[in-house]
């Protein structure tokens, strides 16, 4: 025992000495301007709004172009490509799913290799290529099926038609997958968030970003949909011109941008923690915590946030336990696959802890990812007239956008300050609480949609006036609740990922939001196909029949609400067990 104590004390003394030597060395931060010169110059000051305004302008126009392709695409597939409702729903769901899946790959490429600027430029070009291809499918008769004849006999698309269509959608997915995870982080890079002015600037950018998001969706749900319904070539071609303008605006601001270099393989640090913990899995923790020595060097950036060692997922702590000959006299680790820092261990813990909450969005977000599918088919069977003007079916979603805009303003000015006084928290309520509330609204959306569809279907069957027996304003309640669902659920998840992700993995953390939406889209496709297959057995007409007056879309809505209720129980269970990340500002080296 005496020998062990002497050895442990010697190790602690050696490590303390090494930390002292390490801390005396000046650290460098790789914040560089990636211009065309061979020697990138160090940027001392961040431009703030001087650079961010170009990114915001680019993002606003780019979202009009990309979201403008999605908003009315179901009608395009039904009327131009003559697809069935289920076939069109599957294509759109898979397209949205892939578009939300690729941002994870885009984030890795950006953070590890290309950097945010180059990734956005290349991805924007890919998006433009995709829009051009889709425009060609509407323009050239050889790329889409012929128009239905007078007897309403429609020719199905050929494999060639579908191949070109999917090729264009693939380019769109690749492009948006590179832009989405990089745009907001690149804009925030323009502000020095270690200063009060920088924090205010970053906060203002978030506010303007969400404000322009509502503006974008309003434009897409009204003007863009109207243009597309009049002429698909003009509608899609306009989006292509807007995307070209977005690229030009982004490149014009290059001289004003602040660049941060890519850091290399980010996931190698995660792999090292797993390997080191596995190699030391037979080690036993001492009975007294103070007897164990952990590797805790100062961070390279002394202004960064340091995470203290926690007892959660304690088996991973072994990766930071110092053993003989793992540190040389200069204080460096002899083998980084045998010994990792506390910071590396806690970063991995953050990612592992996020996964259960992240998975809860698969079912909860289905009403959001499918809002451009079945609600539109409902609206097509309803009276959408205001006087002599007929509202396009996809434009009914404007109710959701108005709800979001009004509630965000009301929440920021009145609700959040009131909640902050009660909860003693600046944000009013925590991100997980917002997620729980969002899941409740997700259930209410489907219940409301099911009740309205049940009533609409009964009226359509008993009414002799045809396909539009009731007003489309009956859809307003579900669209209003969908707005509340988006505000609480999506913003809750975004805040959660940004606050709980490791500091150097913010782009990857931001991409988890889109990956969640991708999984939600895939979950929706799976449910659609299972429901369609089961309800068509033994000659059944199916719940999701092309003619929703024959099908039972209301039953499908009630099924999704039931799955949402089960998911709500899971979300509450995970939220109660979750412990928020703890950080401290690492001004000086921590001593052991």
d(CA 176, CA 123): 7
Three-class SS of residue 589? Answer: coil
Residue 246: predicted pLDDT:
93
Taking phi first (over 0 means left), then psi (-120 to 50 degrees means alpha), and beta for anything else, what does residue 443 get? alpha
Three-class SS of residue 341? Answer: coil
Residue 38: predicted pLDDT:
36
Three-class SS of residue 268? Answer: helix
What's domain 351-591's superfamily in CATH?
MFS general substrate transporter like domains (1.20.1250.20)
Q: Do 313 and 273 touch, CB atoms closer than 8 A?
A: no
Three-class SS of residue 327? Answer: strand
Look at strands 32-33 and 41-42 and give their pairing. Answer: antiparallel
Q: What string of pLDDT tens digits covers the 592 residues of the chain?
A: 444 444 444 444 334 444 444 444 333 333 333 333 333 333 447 778 888 889 988 889 998 998 888 878 888 898 888 888 778 888 887 887 788 778 888 888 887 778 888 999 999 999 999 999 999 999 998 998 888 876 667 888 888 999 999 999 999 999 988 888 888 888 878 887 667 677 667 766 776 777 787 788 888 878 888 899 889 999 999 999 999 999 999 999 888 888 877 665 667 778 889 999 999 988 888 877 666 788 888 876 554 667 888 888 888 989 989 888 888 887 788 888 889 888 889 888 988 999 999 999 999 999 988 887 788 888 888 888 888 888 888 778 888 888 888 888 888 778 888 888 888 876 778 889 999 999 999 999 999 999 999 998 888 888 755 545 788 889 999 999 999 998 899 888 887 887 787 767 777 777 888 888 888 888 888 999 899 899 988 878 889 888 888 889 999 999 999 999 999 999 999 999 998 887 776 544 444 3
Residues 6+ apart with CB under 8 A from 249: 54, 57, 58, 61
Nearest to 346 by CA among 545, 504, 137, 169: 504
Look at strands 385-386 and 389-390 and give their pairing. Answer: antiparallel
What six digits make up the tokens of 188?
């925030």
Helix axes 431-462, 491-500, angle to 10 degrees: 160
Nearest to 531 by CA among 372, 342, 366: 366
Where does 490-571 show beta strands of DSSP type E?
Answer: none
Tokens 């941008």, residue located: 257
User: Cα 282–285–287 angle (5° rounding)?
Assistant: 140
> What are the extents of the domains in the chain?
45-264, 266-348, 351-591
Q: How many Cβ atoms are within 10 Å of 55's Cβ, its own excluded?
A: 27
What six digits make up the tokens of 383?
């009276």
d(CA 180, CA 171): 14
d(CA 461, CA 406): 37
Q: What single string gives the DSSP state of each residue in 372-407?
A: TTHHHHHHHTSB-EETTEEPPGGGGGHHHHHHHHHH
List % helix, strand, coil for the chain (3-state, nearest 5).
70, 5, 30
Look at strands 41-42 and 305-306 and give their pairing. Answer: unpaired
Residues 6+ apart with CB under 8 A from 437: 488, 489, 492
The pTM (predicted TM-score) of the whole model is: 0.72
Nearest to 504 by CA among 344, 370, 384, 326: 344
Q: Do 97 and 525 touch, CB atoms closer than 8 A?
A: yes
Residue 29: predicted pLDDT:
33
Q: How many Cβ atoms are within 10 Å of 451's Cβ, its own excluded?
A: 16
Architecture in CATH of 45-264? Up-down Bundle (1.20)
How many CA atoms does the CB half-sphere of 452 hold within 13 Å? 22
How many CA atoms does the CB half-sphere of 334 hold within 13 Å? 8
Beta bridge partners of residue 291, listed in sequence order? none
H/E stretch holding 181 reads helix 159-189
Backbone angles phi, psi at 307, to 5 degrees: -105, 125
What six digits make up the tokens of 544?
């999701």
Residue 304: predicted pLDDT:
60
Rg of the chain in Å (alpha carbons):
27
d(CA 589, CA 586): 7
Q: Do 508 and 263 touch, CB atoms closer than 8 A?
A: no
H/E stretch holding 33 reads strand 32-33
């Amino acid at each position: 025992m005496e020998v062990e104590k002497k050895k442990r004390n010697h190790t602690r003394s050696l490590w303390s000495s090494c930390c002292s030597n390490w801390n005396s060395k000046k650290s460098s931060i790789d914040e560089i301007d990636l211009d065309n010169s061979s020697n990138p110059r160090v940027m001392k000051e961040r431009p703030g709004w001087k650079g961010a305004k170009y990114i915001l302008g680019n993002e606003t126009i780019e979202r009009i172009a990309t979201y403008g392709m999605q908003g009315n695409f179901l009608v395009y597939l039904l009327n131009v490509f003559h697809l069935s409702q289920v076939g069109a729903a599957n294509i759109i769901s898979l397209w949205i799913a892939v578009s939300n899946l690729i941002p994870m790959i885009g984030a890795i490429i950006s953070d590890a290799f290309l950097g945010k600027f180059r990734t956005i430029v290349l991805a924007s070009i890919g998006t433009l290529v995709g829009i051009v291809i889709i425009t060609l499918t509407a323009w050239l008769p050889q790329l889409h099926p012929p128009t239905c004849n007078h007897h309403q006999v429609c020719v199905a698309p050929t494999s060639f038609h579908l191949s070109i269509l999917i090729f264009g959608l693939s380019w769109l997915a690749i492009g948006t997958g590179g832009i989405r995870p990089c745009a907001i982080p690149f804009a925030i890079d323009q502000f020095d968030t270690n200063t009060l002015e920088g924090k205010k600037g970053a906060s203002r950018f978030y506010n303007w970003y969400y404000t322009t998001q509502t503006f974008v969706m309003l434009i897409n749900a009204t003007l863009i949909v109207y243009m597309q319904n009049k002429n698909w070539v003009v509608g899609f071609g306009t989006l292509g011109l807007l995307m070209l303008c977005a690229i030009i605006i982004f490149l014009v601001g290059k001289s004003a941008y602040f660049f941060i270099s890519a850091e290399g393989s980010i996931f190698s640090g995660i792999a090292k923690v797993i390997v080191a913990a596995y190699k030391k899995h037979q080690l036993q923790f001492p009975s007294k915590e103070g007897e164990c020595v952990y590797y805790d060097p100062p961070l390279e950036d002394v202004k960064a946030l340091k995470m203290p060692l926690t007892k959660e997922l304690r088996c991973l702590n072994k990766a930071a336990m110092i053993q003989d000959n793992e540190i040389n006299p200069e204080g460096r680790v002899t083998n980084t696959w045998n010994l990792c820092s506390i910071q590396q261990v806690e970063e991995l813990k953050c990612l592992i802890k996020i996964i259960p909450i992240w998975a809860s969005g698969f079912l909860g977000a289905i009403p959001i990812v499918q809002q451009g599918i079945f609600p539109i088919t409902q609206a097509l069977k309803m009276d959408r007239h205001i006087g002599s003007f007929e509202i396009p079916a996809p434009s009914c979603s404007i109710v959701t956008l108005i709800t979001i805009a009004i509630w965000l303003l009301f929440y920021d000015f009145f609700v959040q300050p009131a909640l902050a006084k009660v909860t003693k928290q600046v944000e009013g309520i925590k991100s997980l609480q917002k997620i729980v509330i969002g899941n409740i609204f997700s259930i209410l959306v489907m219940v409301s949609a099911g009740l309205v569809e049940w009533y609409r279907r009964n009226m359509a069957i008993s009414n002799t006036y045809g396909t539009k027996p009731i007003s489309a304003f009956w859809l307003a309640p579900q669209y209003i609740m969908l707005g509340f669902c988006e505000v609480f659920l999506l913003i809750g998840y975004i805040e959660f990922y940004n606050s709980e992700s490791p500091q150097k993995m913010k782009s990857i953390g931001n991409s988890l939001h889109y990956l969640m939406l991708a999984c939600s889209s895939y979950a929706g496709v799976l449910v659609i196909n299972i429901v369609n297959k089961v309800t068509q057995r033994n000659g059944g007409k199916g719940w999701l029949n092309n003619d929703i007056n024959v099908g039972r879309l209301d039953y499908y809505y009630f099924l999704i609400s039931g799955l949402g209720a089960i998911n709500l129980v899971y979300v509450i269970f995970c939220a109660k067990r979750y412990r928020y990340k703890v950080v401290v500002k690492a001004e000086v080296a921590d001593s052991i």
